[in-house]
Chains A and B, each alone.
Chain A
Amino acid sequence: NAGVTQTPKFRILKIGQSMTLQCAQDMNHNYMYWYRQDPGMGLKLIYYSVGAGITDKGEVPNGYNVSRSTTEDFPLRLELAAPSQTSVYFCASRRPGQGLDYGYTFGSGTRLTVV
């Protein structure tokens, strides 16, 4: 059982480039989330999805896009990379109805640097 898998683990982008951060889970979780963590700060929610075809903005969505075509995958797209998007990105998932006694399951993160 792999849990939540994020790829790539590291990436360096030039300003203005675009890329997609991949996230896949094999736990049949309906709810999926994208967070970013800046140095010395807590995680901030970028986007989330409650099921295939349904996405919604979180606290810091500007500069990002998401899609959810399947239950398993929730990619995060950066269209025009900016230095302010240098961060560590975490994907997470949970099963609805299981309550929050188990929290979210997080991936190991993608460290992105924009130069």
Chain B
Amino acid sequence: DQQVKQNSPSLSVQEGRISILNCDYTNSMFDYFLWYKKYPAEGPTFLISISSIKDKNEDGRFTVFLNKSAKHLSLHIVPSQPGDSAVYFCAAMNNNDMRFGAGTRLTVKP
């Protein structure tokens, strides 16, 4: 059962434009949502998180939006930079059980 889904395996955007990565979940018991960034041959690196009691969290160029009624969250990167090119994983957590999506490969073209 895949409780966290990232339906877009890849996304390509132009440098300076907005990148929007999407994630859907099915388990309403998740109380924390996170985004991780992963470069090849490295482990995932924490990017940003949001509690289920909030609908938006912002950190510099990165903003995460949570729509609990739709069980949907998104990561906005503005402006996108070539160094943002990586695989982005959405994750959702309940107690010590963190479930990950399959990832979206973002390519930012100069």
Judge whether B97 and A100 touch: CB under 8 Å: no
User: With contacts A90-B44, A101-B49, A103-B36 known, is A42 near B97, CB below 8 A?
Assistant: no
Interface of B is mostly: strand
- Give chain B nearest CB distance to A99 CB in angstroms: 9
User: Can you name 19 A-B pairs with beta carbons within 8 Å?
Assistant: A42-B6, A42-B89, A42-B99, A42-B103, A45-B97, A45-B98, A45-B99, A56-B96, A59-B97, A100-B51, A103-B34, A103-B36, A103-B46, A103-B47, A103-B49, A105-B46, A107-B43, A108-B43, A109-B42
Q: Which of B6, B44, B101 has the most CB of A within 10 A?
A: B44
In the complex the two chains form, what is the Cα distance from A7 to B64 in whole Å?
A: 34
The chain B residues found within 8 Å of chain A, CB to CB, are 2, 4, 6, 9, 32, 34, 36, 41-47, 49, 51, 89, 91, 93, 96-103
Which one of B32, B46, B98 has the greatest number of beta carbons of chain A within 10 Å? B98
Q: What's the Cα separation between A58 and B4 when bound, in Å?
A: 16
Q: Give A109's nearest chain B residue, CB to CB.
A: B43
Partner among A42, A45, A50, A106 whose Cβ is within 8 Å of the Cβ of B43: A106
Tell me whether B100 and A42 are in contact (CB under 8 A): yes
CB of B49 within 8 A of CB of A50, answer: no
Q: Find residues 77-115 in chain A having any chain B CB closer than 8 Å to their own CB.
A: 90, 92, 100-109
The verdict on A24 contacting chain B, using a C-beta distance below 8 Å, is no
A42 with B101: CB separation less than 8 A = yes
